[in-house]
Amino acid sequence: MSHVYNYALFTTLIDEWLGEAQDLHALQALNQALARERENDQQNFTEVHQHAGGSKSFGAFCYMLAGNHIPLHVVAKAIVQVPWRDPESIMLVFSDERYEGFHALYLDRLQAISEGRSEELGDVDKVR
């Protein structure tokens, strides 16, 4: 039976031009870390910030992943392995079939989840 997870990862706010090369490097590092955690499963994050509608550029790098059987602790472990340029800006918004609505996590909580030091949701902020 399928168990669908939805993840949206927001990273560094985009200043003038921080450069797509750094963005691409982070995306590659994230997907490599996820592949290591998932034994080379090819379910990857993809960038979506360049596809936002409107007349302005989206103000942060944004990656999304919708996949089967990719639990939060696995994604958290992959995210904390990436050497983010601005770790304080990392926010993961996710949903899965076990919990109602969307939930937001910052890097410190993802670190705790990846190390098994935190209940998966506990006091996670629910996004209404």
Q: 116: domain CATH number?
A: 3.90.1170
Structure tokens at 127: 């996004």
- The 10 Å CB-count burial string (b at 16+, else e) for 23-52 is beebbeebbebbeebbeeeeebbebebeee
pLDDT in tens, 67-103: 888 888 899 999 999 888 788 889 999 998 777 789 9
Domain that residue 88 falls in:
4-127
Q: What's the 3-state SS for 10-76?
A: EEEECCCCCCHHHHHHHHHHHHHHHHHHCCCCCCCCEECHHHCCCCCCCCEEEEEEEEECCCHHHHH
Structure tokens at 119: 């209940």
pLDDT confidence of residue 107: 93
Bridge partners (DSSP) of residue 102 are: 127
pLDDT in tens, 52-68: 777 777 777 889 998 88
The domain tally of the chain equals 1
Give every CB contact of residue 126 below 8 A, 6+ residues apart in sequence: 100, 101, 102, 103
